Structure 1
Amino acid sequence: MKRIPPSRKLRQAFEETLQGYETELHPLDVFVKLGARYMLQVALEQEVEDFLGRAHYQRGQRRCQGWRNGYESGKVTIAEGFLEIALPRVRETEEPFHSRLSPLLKEGSDALGRLVKEMYVRGLSTRDVEGMFIEALGQQILSRSGVSRITSRLQKDFDSWRKRDLSQLKVVYLFLDAVYLALRQGTKEKEGVLCAYGILENGKKVLLHLALGGRESYDSWLSFLHDMIARGLNEPLLVISDKNKALRRVAREVFPHAFKQPCLAHKMRNILCKLPKKAQKEMKPLVHRMFYAGSYEEGLKRGQELIARFKGNYTSAMECLEEDLKECLTYLRFPEAHWRAIRTTNMLERTFGEGKRRTKVIPRFPTESSGLRLLYASLITASRSWHGVKMTPDIWWELEILRKEAFGEQSLIIEREAAVV
């Protein structure tokens, strides 16, 4: 029976993390350790492949005599702690195999720790990785073709997440937002990074998609949503989004039956910015009282009274409120236990804050993929700490009533699965 190389086992574990399978919570340091361990193992196995001139279990003509002979356990120290690795062994070679990488792993190296983390998170080019091996170890350890194979694996890891099947994720609430980051070398221009996460029928929250979106154009958002639909995303019951007009237009076209909820935090800022500074202090608690009413009917009543009272003096602000007043209060029609979770996209913005903080450490990226990969690493890790929402039989029943209103008699019955609180 063939032995599976340790790197394949690590990659399988890592891909399960990337695809959102059930795992323990992973703070960023643990997440990076997993990626670092995987990349180190790949480098060690690639060193043996370069020495023997053939891949694992590859048959055919051999460049030199010798066989792989299992592994011995080893550890390497980086800033985040110890990494367990498997050191490859070979036998029956014309010349003894001496790994130039393993002695440095045993001693530990700050430069080496930076090397493996940046290899994974940044997705450097072949030339970048070659230079970092020399910087960290004082010499080139792997062949250029070996380094090239490592860098190609980095892209595959990220792509596997972006292309994964979404048909098994029954999304009830879909959140859409964007963040602007300076991603490319040679320019100060910031680009929109589009992001989507969902709350599923079992109450879990999951990061769904991440992509460049230019200036958040209609076409960018349309392509973004069509990508998820092509991978099996169902039409959600409620779409929560920011103020972007192109996004809201696309959401109505792509998800015509779903309820729509503008982010109330964005809406509050839009209203207040249309008021004189002195009036903002008076208006904010009044709008807040209307947005956070105890029921949809009460919120609508307060909103209409507010508009009638102030439209003469603050026309622009009240027109901003009036244009989508009913949609702003949509969340109040949903189960009260979910109100806090579905009235804003604040969780995405807080998560984006972590991504922004990390991208500032590396102000520009060699490629757009490397910038996306760093933001992705931050977001997927932060998503591990997201708390789910409560799902009970009563809540399921409320959602089913709304689902039938939105989708008619052809609606799907919500699955009665175990809830995650």
Structure 2
Amino acid sequence: MIHKCRNVLSKVSAGDQATVKAAFGDIFDTSGLQQDGREFEPGPDLVACIQARIDAFAEAWSALPGGGKSLLADRASLTTYLRFPIEHHKRIRHSNFIERTFGETRRRVKVIGRFPGETSCVSLVWAVLDRAARGWRGFTMTSKGLRTLQDLRRALLAPPSRLRPATVPTTDSTPETTAA
């Protein structure tokens, strides 16, 4: 989101940058956002609401040369974090901790130079990610949040299958008989 905001602001005149930056921030502000008198739950409804805000922003600032189009093109990646528990949103919507981990991986790879095999590469990346994960702070784990994460994990690992095929193949209605 930080990079996308900078990208959009680079296409705006200096006089409009404060207004556009505030409007961009309002797109992703989910505090006080309600549906049917209650707060939005993480998931597709919240994603749809924020994507509608992105559409409204792009329409309002359609005079931006390419800024609105790039925002519309990347709206799926900008709203991915909305599927996670609400208490994690402020922490994971920015990519700073991820970029720090990538930087640490690059620094360690430079020392090694060349890996003897895929296993050693994966082991190094795993070690860096494991160490970084221990240092991540600011994630509150509630029972509701853990259920949300389990549901997300389950949906990614075992997506629901269709109950019926989309089209039923037609077969010849004459039964085959075999001689006994």
Report TM bin, short chain. 0.5 to 0.7
Alignment partners' CA distance in 2, 1:272 and 1:388: 29
- Residue-by-residue CA offset, 1:46-82 (whole Å, 9 max, x unaligned): xxxxxxxxxxxxxxxxxxxxxxxxxxxxxxxxxxxxx
**What is residue 269 of structure 1 aligned with on the other side?**
6
Shift in alpha-carbon separation, 1:380–1:393, aligned structure 2, 3 A:
closer
Runs of at least 5 residues in structure 1 that lack an aligned partner in the other structure: 1-263, 360-367, 411-421
**What is residue 339 of structure 1 aligned with on the other side?**
89
Runs of at least 5 residues in structure 2 that lack an aligned partner in the other structure: 34-45, 114-124, 161-180
**Residue 404 of structure 1: CA displacement?**
3.9
**Residue 318 of structure 1: CA displacement?**
0.3
- Residue-by-residue CA offset, 1:328-364 (whole Å, 9 max, x unaligned): 11211211011122212112446789x7xxx9xxxxx
CA contact (8 A) 1:331 1:339 kept: yes
1:300 to 51, 59, 73: 51
CA contact (8 A) 2:5 2:24 kept: yes
SS in 2 for 1:275: coil
Q: Which has the larger radius of gyration?
A: 1
Please report the TM-score for the alignment, with normalisation by the length of structure 2.
Answer: 0.57
> Which residues in structure 2 correspond to 1:360-379 (within 5 Å)?
368-369=110-111
> Which residues in structure 2 correspond to 1:122-137 (within 5 Å)?
none
**What is residue 408 of structure 1 aligned with on the other side?**
158
> Which residues in structure 2 correspond to 1:19-418 (within 5 Å)?
264-293=1-30, 294=33, 295-311=46-62, 313-349=63-99, 368-369=110-111, 385-387=135-137, 389-409=139-159
**Residue 381 of structure 1: CA displacement?**
7.9
Alignment partners' CA distance in 2, 1:286 and 1:407: 37
User: Among the aligned pairs, what percent are the same residue?
Assistant: 30
Alignment partners' CA distance in 2, 1:330 and 1:348: 15
CA contact (8 A) 1:272 1:284 kept: yes
Letter of the aligned partner of 1:300 in structure 2? Q
**Residue 305 of structure 1: CA displacement?**
1.0
Please report the TM-score for the alignment, with normalisation by the length of structure 1.
Answer: 0.27
RMSD: 3.6
Alignment partners' CA distance in 1, 2:112 and 2:28: 40
Answer 1 or 2: higher relative contact order, Cα 8 Å, separation at least 6.
2
CA contact (8 A) 2:82 2:89 kept: yes
Shift in alpha-carbon separation, 1:397–1:303, aligned structure 2, 3 A:
same
Shift in alpha-carbon separation, 1:330–1:352, aligned structure 2, 3 A:
closer
Aligned length: 132
CA contact (8 A) 2:8 2:68 kept: yes
Letter of the aligned partner of 1:287 in structure 2? F
Higher helix share: 2
